[in-house]
Amino acid sequence: MIKTRIVSLPYLVWMAIFIVAPLVMVCFYAFTTPDGALTFDNLSGLGRYMPVFTRSIWLAAIATVICLVLAFPLAFIISRMSESKQSMMLLFLLLPMWMNFLLRTYAWMSLLENNGLINRLLGLVHLGPFQMINTQGAVVLGMVYNYLPFMILPLYSVMTKIDNSIIEAAEDLGAGRLGVISRVLVPLSMPGITTGIIMVFVPSISTFIISRMLGGGDTLLVGDLIEMQFLGNAYNPHLGSAMALVLMVLVLLFMSLTGTSSDEEMEDMLI
């Protein structure tokens, strides 16, 4: 027991410095004024930013659903391949992630701008140019592109454990393709679905680089607001901390609801 505590001591120190201390500072700034007095004005004043919070949740939810729809069949196809092909496909999947996040987003800027490659190709068939950059659609596209692997990987890890005999048994019992998907694959893949949703939704709702570079000034998200309070001209770390605290509560609430629904579904399967 003593050896276990000694071994875990570096981790506890790390957690106290880089997790507990920042959380305490955020809570302190959120409930105080620049003079150090206790106040709730920082939280009560967030009502005027409700459209930004709503937009962030909405766009993050759209990106998460799109990632799930794309990742589910891809993960299943990869999981049914031979081991060598699985390794190759995972390499192709992870290869773009080796490139810097900003560079990947810059690449999409050059593709989506009015004189970009996509509009030039459309111009060859006398279509466009279309306004694709600085739109909410461009922000969702950036989220999907950057976070899709985080949905595929947990689904793939779960689907590799689903034996083909289970699918064959469902087909022998009269289940069609939709029946196999809805009554076999989806329930058995629920742990991966839950993990993937969390891994995509959480960074999507808090992103600020994607919205700034692909959405311009017309698509302001919560992450942009928080950054403006700490690094922008509207310097107000107390208001920024209140925004960060509310965002953290929303994320924790979402994670708890997702985890609860997943546990209930697994219990129903066992029963």
| 3-class SS of residue 186 | helix
User: How far apart (Å, rounded) are the C-alpha atoms in residues 42 and 87?
Assistant: 50
Mean pLDDT computed over 95-109: 88
User: How far apart (Å, rounded) are the C-alpha atoms in residues 91 and 88?
Assistant: 5
CATH of the domain spanning 48-270: 1.10.3720.10
Q: How confident is the model at residue 260 (pLDDT cuts 50, 70, 90)?
A: low
Task: Give residue limits of the domains in the chain.
Answer: 48-270
Q: If you search the block for the tokens 């949740």, which residue do you land on?
A: 57
DSSP secondary-structure letter at 115?
T
pLDDT at 266 over 50: no
Sign of the CA dihedral with 183 first, then 70, 63, and 231 last: positive
Sign of the CA dihedral with 207 first, then 212, 213, and 214 last: positive
102 vs 76, higher pLDDT: 76
Closest CA to 262 of 195, 210, 212: 195
Q: How confident is the model at residue 128 (pLDDT cuts 50, 70, 90)?
A: confident
pLDDT at 71 over 80: yes
Q: Which residues contact 238 (CB under 8 A, 6 or more apart)?
A: 29, 30, 32, 33, 34, 42
- The pair of three-digit structure tokens given for residue 198, joined into one six-digit string: 């969390």
pLDDT at 72 over 80: yes
User: How far apart (Å, rounded) are the C-alpha atoms in residues 243 and 223?
Assistant: 9
pLDDT at 45 over 50: yes
CA 254 to the chain's CA centroid: 12
Closest CA to 209 of 146, 150, 254, 251: 146
Helix H segments across 31-135? 41-44, 50-79, 83-94, 101-112, 117-124
User: How far apart (Å, rounded) are the C-alpha atoms in residues 169 and 139?
Assistant: 43
Mean pLDDT computed over 3-8: 76
Mean pLDDT computed over 202-226: 90
Residue pLDDT, tens place only, 131-159: 899 999 999 999 999 999 999 999 999 99
